[in-house]
Each structure stands twice: as structure tokens, then as C-alpha cells.
Amino acid sequence: MPERTAVIASRVGLHARPAGIFVAAVGELPLEVTIAMAGEPAEDAMDASSILSIMSLGASNGDTVVLRADGEGADEALDSLVKILETDLDAE
């Protein structure tokens, strides 16, 4: 299963607006995507399309998360999601 790591760039972490932007992008994909804090077991990963899961993850600025997806186009999808997480969405 393809996976990518990303460092959260938004100053407020994955909360409010940045979380909404990320969840909307995940929701447009025809894949199931999971997210977890780096170092956590894969089986503890949460549904990346759920705003509640993203908010409860508690990822702050500078934290590293792991994204995983499986299926056709997973590599490209994960690359696009990493770009979102590694952009300071609060500055835009």
C-alpha cells in the first residue's frame, strides 16, 4: 500500500480551515485514504475524509503525519495531498 509522510505547515495545524480544505480534497478522490501521526501503527490510522477524524488527530504545525491509500492512482493522489498538508493554508 503506497504511503507518504508530510509535515504539517499550517500555523494552526490541521484545525478549522486547513482541515476543511484537506478533507474536501480527500473527498474528491475515488480512493480510501487514511491518516495517522508518524510512528503510530497502520491499523490505528483514521479515515482522512472525515473532518471529525482529522480534528481528533490533533496534528499541530511541524508534526509529521503518514497518509496511506490503495488502488489505481494512489501514488498521484497521495502526492497531491502531501502538497496540501505542506502548504501554510493559513497564510493564503
| pTM across the whole model | 0.94
Structural domains of the chain, count? 1
Q: Which domain holds residue 35?
A: 3-91
Give CA angle at 7 (62, 70), nearest 5°: 150
What does 13-80 look like in DSSP terms, one character per residue?
-SSHHHHHHHHHHHHTSSS-EEEEETTS-GGG-EETT-HHHHHHHT--TT-EEEEEE-STTHHHHHHH
* pLDDT (tens digit per residue) in 16-50: 899 999 999 999 999 999 999 999 999 999 999 99
Catalytic residues: 15
3-class DSSP assignment, residue 85: helix
CATH number of the domain residue 30 falls in? 3.30.1340.10
